[in-house]
Copies of this chain bind each other. A is one copy, B any other.
Amino acid sequence: MLYLIGLGLGDAKDITVKGLEIVRRCNRVYLEAYTSILTVGKEALEEFYGRKLILADREEVEQEADNILKDADTNEVAFLVVGDPFGATTHSDLILRATKLGIPYRVIHNASIMNAVGCCGLQGGQPRSSHRQDTWRPESFFDKVEKNRQSGMHTLCLLDIKIKEQSLENLIKGRKIYDPPRYMSVNQAAQQLLEIVQNRREEGEEPAITEDTLCVGLARVGTEDQKIAAGTLQQMCTVDLGGPLHSLIITGGSMHPLEKEMLSLFSISEQP
């Protein structure tokens, strides 16, 4: 097993409890030393983890990935990354190589600048916030996703969560009785988007998002049973991702070859 473990942004104690347990039991532990910088020295990490770390610089990871992955089919190897393994730099190369060698991998996420930057008070993409915090208004949302796609940008849709909502009747009567929680699924979101595609066509438009637009459905990201499925928006209407929470990415069209290769690991196989 190859573990990619995020170390977070601060010092040695910003590793997660789960990450620390894995580090302490792995056969070999590499520390990636080029995409970001450590705020504490390698020695401080080694002392806190109680493990020797092997420094892996850019050349090592790119040219000697096979050394890192050696025996990882029967041993446990950890690869430590400052921030999150999928923060500023993805480690697709290493994961794709492991997959080709038949070595399973697991990711232990942590904070990266990509989310921690929110501490300044600015919020992420407009589609996201309006989507999540207001009611689900697919028509206005659709325009934003289209615009993103036309600019070559992926859109991450965090799907609607309704917790402790009151029915209108209970609200009026002042009864603190709440509806059961509801979570929008990727299927529901995809179906709503496709309805808009149809509406637009009936109005004589050819929308930038169609049945064939490449999407990615994600469920329970970061948990042991997370599911990822890449396929068309049409396929997203029926893909089975299991329970909440779901997210849906509408891709931005042109993609980097590494993005394509990674997505292929999750592609929905065509039904016969």
Residues of A within 8 A of B (CB): 6, 8-18, 20-21, 33-37, 39, 57-59, 83-90, 92, 107-126, 128-129, 132-133, 147, 151-154, 156, 158, 161, 163-164, 181, 183, 216, 218, 220-224, 226, 228, 230, 244-245, 247, 249, 251, 255-256, 258-259, 261-263, 265-266
Min distance, Cβ A232 to any Cβ of chain B, angstroms: 15
20 contacts between A and B (CB under 8 A): A6-B111, A8-B16, A9-B221, A9-B223, A10-B18, A10-B224, A14-B109, A36-B161, A37-B161, A37-B244, A57-B163, A92-B121, A114-B114, A114-B156, A119-B226, A120-B228, A121-B258, A121-B261, A122-B216, A123-B256
Q: Which of A10, A122, A129 has the most CB of B within 10 A?
A: A122
Find A119's partner among B12, B221, B258 (CB 8 Å cutoff): B221
Could you tell me the distance between the alpha carbons of A154 and B118 in the complex, rounded to whole angstroms? 11
Pairwise interchain contact A58-B164, C-beta atoms closer than 8 A = yes
Could you tell me the distance between the alpha carbons of A77 and B140 in the complex, rounded to whole angstroms? 40
| 11 new A-B contacts at CB < 8 Å, known A17-B20, A113-B156 | A8-B222, A10-B18, A34-B164, A57-B164, A107-B116, A109-B115, A109-B119, A111-B111, A113-B221, A113-B247, A120-B216
Pairwise interchain contact B84-A122, C-beta atoms closer than 8 A = no
Pairwise interchain contact A247-B117, C-beta atoms closer than 8 A = yes
Could you tell me the distance between the alpha carbons of A107 and B117 in the complex, rounded to whole angstroms? 11
Nearest chain-B residue to A22 (Cβ)? B13
Pairwise interchain contact A111-B113, C-beta atoms closer than 8 A = no
- A261 CB contacts on chain B under 8 angstroms: 121
Given contacts A16-B13, A121-B259, contact A132 B88 (CB under 8 A): yes
Min distance, Cβ A132 to any Cβ of chain B, angstroms: 6
Min distance, Cβ A124 to any Cβ of chain B, angstroms: 6
Pairwise interchain contact B133-A153, C-beta atoms closer than 8 A = no
Pairwise interchain contact A18-B14, C-beta atoms closer than 8 A = yes
- A59 CB contacts on chain B under 8 angstroms: 164
Find A116's partner among B86, B183, B266 (CB 8 Å cutoff): B86
- A85 CB contacts on chain B under 8 angstroms: 118-119
Min distance, Cβ A189 to any Cβ of chain B, angstroms: 15
- A114 CB contacts on chain B under 8 angstroms: 114-115, 118, 124, 156
Given contacts A8-B109, A120-B249, A164-B58, contact A223 B86 (CB under 8 A): no
Min distance, Cβ A164 to any Cβ of chain B, angstroms: 6
Pairwise interchain contact B221-A117, C-beta atoms closer than 8 A = yes
Q: Which of A58, A183, A223 has the most CB of B within 10 A?
A: A223
